[in-house]
A and B are shown apart, each in its own frame.
Chain A
Amino acid sequence: MHEVAMTEEAAQAAGAAAVDSAPLLEVDGIVKAFPGVLALDKVSFRLHRGTVHALMGENGAGKSTLMRIIAGIYTPDKGEVRLKGRALTMRGPLDALNHGIAMIHQELNLMQFMTVAENIWIRREPLNRFGFVDHGELKRRTQALFDRLAIDIDPEAAVRSLSIANRQMVEIAKAVSFDSDVLIMDEPTSALTEHEVEHLFRIIRQLRAQGKGIVYITHKMNELFEIADEVSVFRDGRFIGTRLSSEVTRDEIIQMMVGREITQMFPKEIVPIGEVVLSVKDLGVEGIFQGVSFDLRAGEILGLAGLIGSGRSNVAEALFGVRPATAGEIRVGGRPVSIRSTADAMGLGMAFLTEDRKETGCYLLLDVLANMDVAVLSQRYVKGGFVLHAALERDCEEMSRSLRVKTPSLRETMQNLSGGNQQKVLIGRWLLTKPRILILDEPTRGIDVGAKAEIHRLVTRLAGQGVAVLMISSEMPEVLGMSDRIMVMHEGRLTGIVDREDADQVRIMDLASR
């Protein structure tokens, strides 16, 4: 292997120079649609030899989807992928690997019960004369690879005994071992400490000097500027542009990532904000988030922004007793409380609309009525063990009307409703419990514009009635338009609370990636 020592400037210069030559990997006019969502809209992208190319974009912007297409995991509906000038047809990840494209995924793809060596060389195990796996050679090759990359992990350790950071290093080593021309890294540093990140960067620089093309997906601005030669921005499934990292500023990148007009879709009503209903101090769940403190008042809409993995939903789950907090104090109405189960939370007047209605919200096979009444049954409408059907159904009808749920009847199967209407039914479920504190996790995700507006109006109305609302959202216009104050989290910590007047996109994105 031809190893080259380079100074930082020389590397940058080499990177910049490489950009001018013919691209190593080209992607043209890629379209990819999933049911209900156009993930990629005629996307083009160019990767040059000997460069590190960062990809940036909000959650759902399409970066991972495009990379999965390049790595052969998805097939595009339209468009072409060209490697070294030749168009590629790939039917699976195996084809991509054979062509020289390797990918390190965000979720680790390791076989837990097998050893490090077995994981790295799976499907490429060295065989001895008799056609059997040569375990000695397997270990030797792994050790040689680790020596080259200065990784100190026992090749015969079982993967499940490794820390997440070490598992990530094994994934990285595995991808490097393919000696592929293109190496895609999707958030490779999510579990690594600073030392390990430095180590990874050394490896990346080594690979770049060898003329490989590296795609680096990250949310961390500082990493981008440290390691990347070029940066491309995606937004809403579209490719926005590519810049040299030496010629672009942080603000410009954020502008490209977020650049929507915030139309005043949300007529924000000024609502009298009352007493502190929920007070949280130093809340934490071991290993996930810590030091979260805030107050929530009646009539207030408190937005909670941040990137995927920042811990927002975890905070909500801790408050609602789904995954109780391991540290910190919660006060409801001034009194300290212990919330160790969802029943506790509901007893205190809390309601929680989960992030993923398909997984944790809807009972898709039951009817609308069953979906709506399930939460309130623990409070009312039950006498002597029997359900008071008439009263319950009447109130559910009323709720359905006031929320304008589009359904032929309450007996319609939940599955048949549109996403927006399903969400309204779930909101109705919680409203029936007459909550004091309403926690909404991505309330308008995957919903058409009309229903979105209705839900926003509804939430505003609720705030007007004195409900305290905590709203987690990844959509900037929504957060900025609806919230009285905005909390921002980053990697398990609260990075700031901003008032409505002082908030803008740049400020929020900044806090979210700090």
Chain B
Amino acid sequence: MAQVDHTVAETSMSFRPMRRKWPPEVGIFFVLVGISLFFEAIGWVMNGQSFIFNAERLEIIILQMSTIGIIAVGVNMVIITSGIDLSSGSVVAAAAVVSASLAQISGDARAVFPHLTDLNPVWPILAGTVTGLAVGIINGALIAYTAIPPFIATLGTMVAARGFAKWFTGAMPVSMLTDHFAWIGSDLNPVMIFLVVAAIFHVVLRYTRFGKFTYAIGSNRQAAIVSGIRVGRHLIWIYAVAGLLSGIAGTVTAARAISGQSGMGVMYELDAIAAVVIGGTSLAGGVGRIPGTVIGVLILGVMMSGFTFIRIDAFYQEMVKGVIIVAAVVADQYRQRARR
């Protein structure tokens, strides 16, 4: 059909790169396995017992990390657009207290809304989720329509949301919650929620136009604009989702603890960012997948549980966590440089 000279074309234009055989998460998956085996070995040496093959411990690891995981899914998408969200932990607190306040049992003298007790759990869940969504939309609007960098915008909402939580509760815990509400946080339900959330957004990122736009914006914002993508609107969606997921995480946290406290969720945003970066998402944007984030969350969880297991002082643990976070970001920088 086309009158084109193929011979000339082939010599100069051929490009067939070696197709990658393994998904990119293989590397960190082995890291996860390695760390688990490391603690397993130490467990036998120090405590004479297994680290991994202990159903209770595994449950605890997974439960602890589920809330971080739910947040991390949203944060992953934010970071892929080369943004950042520092407000996650504060949103957890805000959502926790708001949802708890609508999940209280009647007959308690200190109910926050004495007329809104014994409610169907749908209401507190909705309230917590919407709280997160509201903060997310504020973040998105600030970032999309003003020149404020995401770091500063979400720093502001981080402080404001925490303040809101404290004001809302008068610094008192919101307790005596209904069993129906508490059920959400019981057994392995948080894990189920995490896995469902992860699955949904994995599909979104990989198989929808929305996902492609997300990567495009992070890869080259100018090119995205020139290609006709409405970047401002898209970013609002992204930050709204991140806020919404933090709201869900907050609700689950309240359900699990059967109380809502303004001190919840401290530093959760950093854990989430660490998990996302460990999982292979680049802070420069344009790169990152949900499976990687999930493994990153697991790695973080195993490490923290492992340190408790070998009885490292809680304060040492925090220092080590800080070192790990820095190491993950430095490793990311090297990965980026290698890409050029």
Contact = CB atoms under 8 A, between A and B. Distances in A.
Given A105-B226, A148-B2, A154-B17, A133 B215 contact: no
Contacts of B287: 113
Contacts of A448: none
Interface stretch (B44-52, B90-98, B135-143, B217-225): B217-225
Contacts of A206: 2, 4
Contacts of B10: 152
Contacts of A113: 215, 218-219, 286-287
Given A118-B212, A133-B207, A111 B2 contact: no
A117 to B, nearest CB: 11
Interface string B276-300: 0000000000110000000000000
Contacts of A3: 1-3
A152 B15 contact: yes
Interface in B227-257: 227-229
A54 B207 CA distance: 41
A123 interface: yes
Interface in B188-237: 203, 207-209, 211-213, 215-216, 218-220, 222-229
A359 B261 CA distance: 50
Main secondary structure of the interface of A (DSSP, over half): loop
A93 interface: yes
A296 B89 CA distance: 64
A148 B219 CA distance: 28
Contact of B229 (A73, A122, A148, A195): A122
Contacts of A1: 1
B14 interface: yes
Contact of A202 (B4, B15, B207): B4
A126 to B, nearest CB: 10
B115 interface: no
B8 interface: yes
Contacts of B207: 132-133, 135
A109 B224 CA distance: 8
Contact of A114 (B3, B203, B215): B215
Given A114-B212, A133-B207, A154-B17, A93 B225 contact: yes
Nearest to B230: A94
Best-buried of B211, B216, B225, B226 by chain A (most CB within 10 Å): B226
Contacts of A59: none
A151 B15 CA distance: 9
Nearest to B6: A150
B220 A110 contact: yes
Contacts of A248: none
Contact of A123 (B9, B11, B215, B229): B229
B229 A114 contact: no
Contacts of A93: 225-228
B20 to A, nearest CB: 10
Contact of A73 (B6, B226, B286): B226
B284 to A, nearest CB: 9
A97 B228 contact: yes
Contact of A199 (B1, B13, B222, B224): B13
Given A133-B212, A202-B5, A153 B12 contact: no
A291 B14 CA distance: 31
Q: Say which size band chain B's interface belongs to.
A: 35 or more
Contacts of B223: 109-111
B21 interface: no
B224 A111 contact: yes
B339 interface: yes
Contact of A111 (B3, B4, B219): B219
A166 interface: yes
B16 interface: yes
A109 B225 CA distance: 9
B5 A150 contact: yes
A196 B9 CA distance: 8
Q: Say which size band chain A's interface belongs to.
A: 35 or more
Contact of B209 (A114, A123, A162, A193): A123
Interface in B9-37: 9-17, 19
Given A111-B223, A195-B8, A153 B13 contact: yes
A112 B220 contact: yes
B224 A94 contact: no
A157 interface: yes
Contact of A161 (B4, B8, B17): B17
A351 interface: no
Contact of B12 (A73, A111, A161, A195): A195
A342 to B, nearest CB: 24
A163 B12 CA distance: 11
A104 to B, nearest CB: 11
A160 interface: yes
B9 A199 contact: yes
A227 B208 CA distance: 41
A135 B207 CA distance: 8
A202 B5 CA distance: 9
A393 interface: no
A162 B4 CA distance: 23
A166 B13 CA distance: 7
A161 B19 CA distance: 12
Nearest to A131: B208
A325 interface: no
A196 B5 contact: no
B17 to A, nearest CB: 5
Contact of B216 (A4, A5, A122): A122
Interface string A113-129: 11000100011010100
Contacts of B17: 154, 157-158, 161
A154 B226 contact: no
A123 B214 CA distance: 11
Those 4 A-B pairs whose CB atoms lie nearest each other, nearest first: A94-B228, A111-B219, A113-B286, A109-B223
17 contacts: A3-B1, A111-B224, A114-B216, A118-B212, A122-B227, A125-B209, A133-B207, A148-B2, A150-B5, A153-B13, A157-B16, A157-B17, A158-B17, A163-B15, A193-B12, A195-B8, A206-B4
Interface of B: 1-6, 8-17, 19, 203, 207-209, 211-213, 215-216, 218-220, 222-229, 286-287, 339
Interface of A: 1, 3-5, 73, 92-94, 97, 105, 109-114, 118, 122-123, 125, 127, 131-133, 135, 147-154, 156-158, 160-163, 166, 169, 193, 195-196, 198-199, 202, 206
Given A5-B3, A111-B286, A114-B212, 13 more contacts: A111-B215, A113-B286, A122-B213, A123-B209, A148-B2, A149-B4, A150-B2, A150-B9, A152-B13, A154-B17, A193-B12, A198-B8, A199-B9
